[in-house]
């Protein structure tokens, strides 16, 4: 049973460019969340997608956008890249509607390391 897979694993871009990161959730999961983790910090919530819609968003500018496809996979797009966008981008999947607090039992991928030069 494949877990959460993310691609690519590493990426180098220059300022002002646009980037797309991809995520396939764990089999059977229907919800995808994205996180940004700067070096030495804990992950920060970007947004969550469920039923192909953005369900909740963290404190990130509109340059960060996403999409969820009918097969539950997801993309994270970042426009007009800044040096400060250099970070590890993590995707996490979960199954909605489980109750008893288990909705927040997230399964994380190993992330995409983005470097902006």
Partner 1 sequence: DAKTTQPPSMDCAEGRAANLPCNHSTISGNEYVYWYRQIHSQGPQYIIHGLKNNETNEMASLIITEDRKSSTLILPHATLRDTAVYYCIALKGGSQGNLIFGKGTKLSVKP
**Residues 36 and 89 sit within 8 Å (Cβ to Cβ):** yes
Min dist CB 38 to partner 1, Å, is: 11
- From residue 24 to residue 43, the character string flagging contacts with partner 1 as x (rule: CB under 8 A) and all else as - is -------x-x-------xxx
**Residues 32 and 91 sit within 8 Å (Cβ to Cβ):** yes
Token reading at 25:
């959730």
Beta-strand pair 53-57/44-50: antiparallel
Among 13, 20, 30, 50, binds partner 1 (CB under 8 A): 50
Residues in contact with partner 1 by CB under 8 A are 4, 31, 33, 41-45, 48, 50, 55-56, 58, 90, 92, 94, 99-111
């Amino acid at each position: 049973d494949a877990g959460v897979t993310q691609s690519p694993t590493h990426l180098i871009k220059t300022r002002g460019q646009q980037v797309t990161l991809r995520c396939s959730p764990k089999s059977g999961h229907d919800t995808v969340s994205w996180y940004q983790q700067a070096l030495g910090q804990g992950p920060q919530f970007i947004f969550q997608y469920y039923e192909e819609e953005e369900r909740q968003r963290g404190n990130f500018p509109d340059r960060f956008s996403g999409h969820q496809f009918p097969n539950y996979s997801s993309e994270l797009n970042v426009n007009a890249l800044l040096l400060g966008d250099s970070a590890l981008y993590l995707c996490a999947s979960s199954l909605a509607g489980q109750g008893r607090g288990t909705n927040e039992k997230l399964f994380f991928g190993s992330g995409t390391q983005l470097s902006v030069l």
